[in-house]
């Protein structure tokens, strides 16, 4: 019966471990060149992923800025529209109050015309004039200091195609010095920006409304003014009675 010596078994185990170490190094040596490109590819892929993450973040910022600019623009447009509507409403209210005031002034002045006043109209290319002779001045709002003479109430064409109502008061020379130079005329613009301003006069002899009055020896019993202020939806028709003329008709 044969038995192996301890020295033989130890040497064989050393040989086996040495051959195993050689094979491991050989396998590692073969696989390391092929694995290094994969490592580089993985690194580049991670870099691209990081870049893609940064790109999406920039896109989100740009999108948020675009949405914010749209919201700011809408808010600004709403504020601008509200301000425009408010200013238009205030303008229309002012125009309405102005037209009401003009109506009241015309009513008081026409109704208070004296019986000695003479009346006629004159139509030119750009103006239509209502001429009141021998009457007191009321359109300059001077009260007791108002003069006496000729009042011309004119509808004048503006450059923008609209109309204005202008009162011109032409004083007469003083009674104490008829040859003296009269004071300069007083021009008062009653209202501007009228879309329409038409006058008619009621002739009691014919019972008709006429657009021109050329009979200086007679007076119309009614004066009608149809005017429309810019922004008003419809014109306003105002009828002013000449009470002295109506009284003379009743007395006749």
What pLDDT score was predicted for residue 116? 76
Per-residue confidence (pLDDT) for residue 43, from 0 to 100: 55
From residue 132, how far is each of 111, 112, 122, 146, 147 by CA, in Å? 13, 12, 11, 15, 14
The one-digit pLDDT tens for each residue of the chain (252 residues) are 444 445 545 555 665 555 555 555 544 444 444 445 555 566 566 655 555 555 567 888 888 899 999 999 999 999 988 888 887 777 767 767 777 777 887 888 787 777 778 899 999 888 999 998 888 776 655 544 556 788 899 999 998 889 998 988 888 777 777 777 877 888 888 888 888 899 999 998 889 999 999 887 788 989 999 988 877 778 888 898 886 655 554 444
* Token pair belonging to 36: 């290094």
Name the token pair of 223: 């004066």
pTM of the model: 0.59
Q: What is the residue extent of each domain of the chain?
A: 116-251
């Amino acid at each position: 019966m044969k038995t192996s010596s301890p020295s033989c078994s130890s040497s064989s185990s050393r040989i086996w471990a040495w051959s195993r170490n050689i094979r491991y190094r050989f396998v590692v040596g073969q696989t390391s060149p092929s694995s290094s490109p994969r490592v580089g590819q993985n690194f580049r892929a991670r870099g691209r992923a990081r870049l893609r993450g940064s790109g999406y973040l920039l896109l989100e910022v740009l999108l948020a800025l675009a949405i914010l600019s749209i919201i700011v623009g809408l808010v600004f447009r709403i504020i601008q529209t509200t301000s425009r509507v408010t200013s238009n409403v205030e303008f229309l209210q002012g125009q309405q109050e102005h037209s009401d005031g003009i109506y009241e002034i015309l009513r008081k002045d026409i109704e208070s015309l004296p019986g000695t006043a003479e009346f006629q109209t004159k139509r030119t290319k750009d103006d239509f004039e209502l001429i009141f002779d021998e009457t007191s001045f009321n359109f300059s709002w001077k009260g007791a200091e108002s003069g006496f003479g000729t009042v011309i109430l004119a509808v004048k064409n503006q450059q923008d195609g609209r109309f204005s109502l202008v009162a011109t008061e032409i004083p007469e020379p003083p009674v104490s010095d008829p040859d003296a130079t009269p004071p300069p005329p007083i021009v008062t613009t009653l209202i501007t920006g009228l879309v329409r301003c038409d006058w008619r006069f009621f002739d009691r002899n014919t019972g008709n409304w006429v657009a021109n009055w050329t009979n200086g020896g007679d007076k119309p019993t009614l004066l009608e003014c149809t005017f429309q202020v810019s922004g008003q939806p419809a014109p306003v028709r105002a009828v002013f009675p000449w009470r002295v003329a109506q009284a003379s008709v009743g007395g006749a």
